[in-house]
Each structure stands twice: as structure tokens, then as C-alpha cells.
Amino acid sequence: MPDPDGLAEAALIRAWLRCAAASVHERRVWLTDLDAAIGDGDHGINLDRGFTAVLADLDGAGDRADPAAAVLTAAGRRLLGMVGGASGALYGRGLMTAGRHVGERPEAGPSDPVRLASTILGGAVEGITALGHAAAGDKTMLDALLPALSVLRSAASDADPASTLAADAAAGEAGAAATVPLVARKGRASYLGERSAGHLDPGAASAALLLRCLATTLADTPA
């Protein structure tokens, strides 16, 4: 069913953000421990604080009918303002760019969850890449996001959406795991040089959590 104002999609995006907030909160110590090994040791704590603020904004909005693009943009701005370090800037810019991409589409339709996920993730990757200037293999969150986006963009038009979304999340998790042997070329971890190898990148790990939430949320979209 057409959703010209993006209100049905907005409900899905709010559900995704709530799932992301819960997942980050549950794994905040793990994410912080990962960051302690090769970074500043605050990734989980900072990201949890940011998503807690996003959650408060969602609760405060009540029944206000904000369109999908506005929900994403507001969440990005909140993360940008609340999360310290590079991760706040990158996730904030990513969500804000995703919001712009969602808002610029000629039509909206929550019955196509793969298209919605591809639009959100494509915008996020664009924003993160423009700000961080990282690429695949640099041991960053893009190592989880890029494989996931590839799955979405290469999916056949008649593929089962739930299966495609599950494959998308699995690709993100595999991409995150593949950062373990890499030597970091961006961010604080790059200061360690060869010593950064052997550790899971915390940004890729948190990105995989968000990807799993997105896939789970959108897979429940009615056809």
C-alpha cells in the first residue's frame, strides 16, 4: 500500500531504533572491552548514551506523526550531539544522510522492506564514507556495512524478503568478524599499527548489531 508521507515506514524505523538501543545497551560492556584493546575504551558506553537519548526522543514524541526521513535525521542529530569520539560523528552523519535518501525517493512503500533497507544502508554508507574517508579493509564499521549493502543491492526482485534481510545481517556479521586479522588503517586503532591485528573492530561490531536489528525489524513487515 502506498505510503506517500512515509508514516508507516517511520513506524518501522522507530522500531528499528528501539531495537538498536536495546541491543547496544545489552552489549555495551562487550563493545567497550573491544574498544579498550585498540581504541579509547569508550565505544560501548558512548554509543549506549547516544541511543538512550534517541530512545528518550522517541518516547517524548508520543503519537506525533513525523515522516520516516525526519525520524532518521533526528536520530542522527541526537547521536552526533551525544556520542563522543569518531563513532558519534560517523553514525550521526550516516543516519542523517540515510534520512535524506529516504526523503528524496519519488515514492515510499513499507511493503518492500528490502528496498527500504537498501535505501537506509546506502545513505548511511555514503555519509560515513564522506566523513571518514575509509574503505573496505581499513578495519572500520564499513567492513560490516559494505558487505550487507552488497547483499541488498544484488538481491533478485523475486527473492524472499525475509531471506534477503537475514542474509544481509549475516553478511554484516561476517564482515565484522573478518576485521580480526586486519591491520587498522583508520581511526585510533591505526596508531597501533601491526598490533591492531588480532582484535575485532568495535565499530564493525556495533554496526553488525544495528544491521541485525534492521533485518529483524523489517522482516516482520506485512507483504
For 169-198, the DSSP string reads HHHHHHHHHTTTTPPP-STGGGGGGGGGTT
Q: Identify the architecture of domain 7-219 in CATH.
A: Alpha Horseshoe (1.25)
Reported as a single tens digit per residue, the pLDDT across 159-169 is: 999 999 999 99
Domain boundary assignment for the chain: 7-219
Q: List helix spans (H) across the chain.
A: 7-26, 28-38, 43-61, 68-82, 85-104, 113-132, 142-154, 161-177, 202-219
Give this prediction's pTM.
0.93
Reported as a single tens digit per residue, the pLDDT across 32-83 is: 999 999 998 999 999 999 999 999 999 998 767 789 999 999 999 999 999 8
Q: Are 145 and 173 contacting, i.e. CB atoms less than 8 angstroms apart?
A: no
Reported as a single tens digit per residue, the pLDDT across 204-213 is: 999 999 999 9
